[in-house]
Amino acid sequence: MTKSALITGITGQDGAYLAKLLLDKGYKVHGLVARRSSDSRWRLREMGVEADIVYLDGDMADACSVQRAVIKSAPDEVYNLAAQSFVAASWDQPVTTGIVDGLGVTHLLEAIRQFSPHTRFYQASTSEMFGLIQAEQQDENTPFYPRSPYGVAKLYGHWITVNYRESFNLHASSGILFNHESPLRGIEFVTRKVTDAAARIKQGKQQTLALGNIDAKRDWGFAGDYVEAMWLMLQQDKPDDYVVATGVTTTVREMCRIAFDHVGLNYRDYVKIDPAFFRPAEVEVLLGNPAKAQRVLGWKPKTDLDTLIRMMMDADMQRVAKE
Ligand code: NAP
Ligand code: G4F
């Protein structure tokens, strides 16, 4: 029997990788897509899957459209990836972020509870919930301390998922994913901002790169590896929460060095510190412990940071050359 999946946020980085993974496994893939005035399907084209998806109009802020998407797709599995996912923007749009990333999760869980209670549910939780870290290495038992409206909204989404699991016996799991990147990463996130700029500087199309806190540390992995963990969570007999990370943390500064090195440049010659890119409250360091995902799901990251940044640099060098 062909399985049906509904992915919200299918036009985003993870949505594109997950759609490809599920299509390769033989799923019928539906995508909830919010109306935009310009093209939002470029990542699905890059992955070669644009024509293989059933698109359903809807917005996480609109409970009726979310409900309709659940009824129409009759999903065995729902992956809730839709979000206003840029931390810095969440201070400028705290209410929208709260509605989409927080209440939106309830719209989806309610639709599943009422119309499709057998459906398995994945919530895209985040290491940003750890924020001001309460343990050197964060795992499923580490207390949360979010530091942005995004982190706070995601914490609501996380707990409402746990609550619907416990209240209504839904197969609802949360993946607490640490930063994951790829050539499809949005240009506003620091890794892509750096690889794009290094490619432009190398090709004489940009002179400098303005960044904020380059001493911040992140546990960076590859999005292609991380969507496999999402799928594995929904194949388990029991729903649960899992940290997905590499277990290695690196400064933004060192990530810059790797990117610029790859094209034979010294980042120190080009990176300028600009207070405009500092945040009202910073998450200084994140470092995940993926031991449970490894033990229960049999999941391990396959891509180290050096390989990941080189993959992104190669893609940006080619793209910038064609511009
Ligand atoms: P992304 O590239 O920013 O994609 C976000 C997706 O959500 C896009 O498809 C976007 O649509 C959609 N969306 C935004 N607002 C919406 C709304 N009101 N209604 C319906 N769809 C909406 O994010 P990502 O990196 O793929 O991340 C996927 C999920 O994982 C997000 O929930 C993010 O918060 C979470 N997460 C990401 C990371 C990471 O490091 N990447 C780590 C932990 C958790 P448009 O394309 O039309 O804007
Ligand atoms: O790449 P970032 O914008 O990602 P951030 O804030 O860690 O959030 C990402 O990962 C989360 C998981 O932990 C996701 F939930 C979330 O949706 C998103 O995908 O920033 C990384 C670090 C920060 O400390 C930031 O202050 O880089 C620092 N940074 C320094 N200069 C910068 C810049 N970040 C950006 N975006 N732009 C800069 O110029």
Q: List, for residues 300-316, the tens digit of each pLDDT value.
A: 999 999 999 999 999 99
Summarize the confidence of residues 50-58 as an average pLDDT. 98
Q: Count other Cβ atoms within 10 Å, centred on residue 294.
A: 16
**What pLDDT is recorded for position 23?**
98
Burial (CB < 10 A; 0-12, 13-18, 19+), residue 127, is buried
User: CA-CA distance, 235 to 223, in Å (whole number)?
Assistant: 19
Q: Is 216 exposed, middle or buried (0-12, 13-18, 19+ CB in 10 A)?
A: buried
* Mutation probe of ligand 2 site: the residue of 14, 92, 132, 189 with most atoms within 8 A of C-beta: 189
pLDDT at position 17, please? 99
236 CA distance to ligand 2 centroid (A)? 31
Q: Could you tell me if the CB of 84 is within 6 A of ligand 1?
A: yes
pLDDT tens-digit profile of 140-167? 999 999 999 999 999 999 999 999 999 9
pLDDT of 64 reads 98
Q: What DSSP state is assigned to residue 138?
A: B
- What percentage of the chain carries pLDDT values higher than 90? 100
CA of 214 from ligand 2 middle (Å) equals 10
* Pocket lining: 123 vs ligand 1, CB cutoff 6 Å: no
Q: What is the model's pLDDT at position 95?
A: 98
Structure tokens at 154: 């995601």
Q: Kindly identify the ligand whose nearest atom is closest to the C-alpha of 224.
A: 1
Query: Residue 125, SS3?
Result: strand
Helix or strand holding residue 244 (H, E): strand 241-244
Structure tokens at 236: 């388990």
Nearest CA to ligand 1 atom 5: 12
Contact 31, 56 (CB under 8 A): yes
Q: What is the pLDDT of residues 194-216, one digit of tens each?
A: 999 999 999 999 999 999 999 99
Determine the atom of ligand 2 nearest the C-alpha atom of 193. 37
Report the distance separating Cα 217 and Cα 288, nearest Å. Answer: 12
223-259: b or e for each residue (b if 16 or more CB lie within 10 Å)? bbbbbbbbbbbbeeeebbbbbbbbbebbebbebbbbb
Give mean pLDDT, residues 286-302: 98
Mean pLDDT score of the chain = 98
| Joined tokens for residue 238 | 């029991």
pLDDT in the model for residue 208: 98
> For residue 315, what pLDDT is reported?
98
Distances (CA, A) of 214 to 108, 207, 218, 273: 37, 19, 11, 8
Q: Which band of pLDDT confidence, cut at 50, 70 and 90, is reported for residue 124?
A: very high
| Residue of 13, 80, 87 best suited for mutating to test ligand 2, as the one with most atoms within 8 Å of CB | 87
Report how far Cα 190 is from the mean position of its chain's Cα atoms: 14
230 pLDDT band, cuts 50/70/90, is: very high
Confidence band, pLDDT 50/70/90 cuts, at residue 126: very high
State the Cα–Cα distance between residues 158 and 242, nearest whole angstrom: 12
Query: What span, in angstroms and rounded, lies between the C-alpha atoms of 226 and 126?
Result: 12
Q: Which of 79, 122, 150, 267 is catalytic?
A: 150
Mean pLDDT of 76-99: 98
Q: What is the per-residue pLDDT for 139?
A: 98
Atom number of ligand 2 nearest to Cα 216: 24
Has this prediction a pTM greater than 0.95?
Answer: yes
- How do 217-218 and 250-251 pair as beta strands? antiparallel
Tokens of 49: 């899957």
What mean pLDDT comes out for the span 6-29? 98
Is residue 126 part of the annotated active site? The answer reads yes
pLDDT for 56 equals 98
Residues whose CB falls within 8 Å of the CB of residue 34, separated by 6 or more in sequence, listed in order: 40, 57, 58, 59, 60, 82
Question: Which residue has 């094209």 as its token pair?
Answer: 263
CA atoms 91, 93, 96, 100: torsion sign = negative
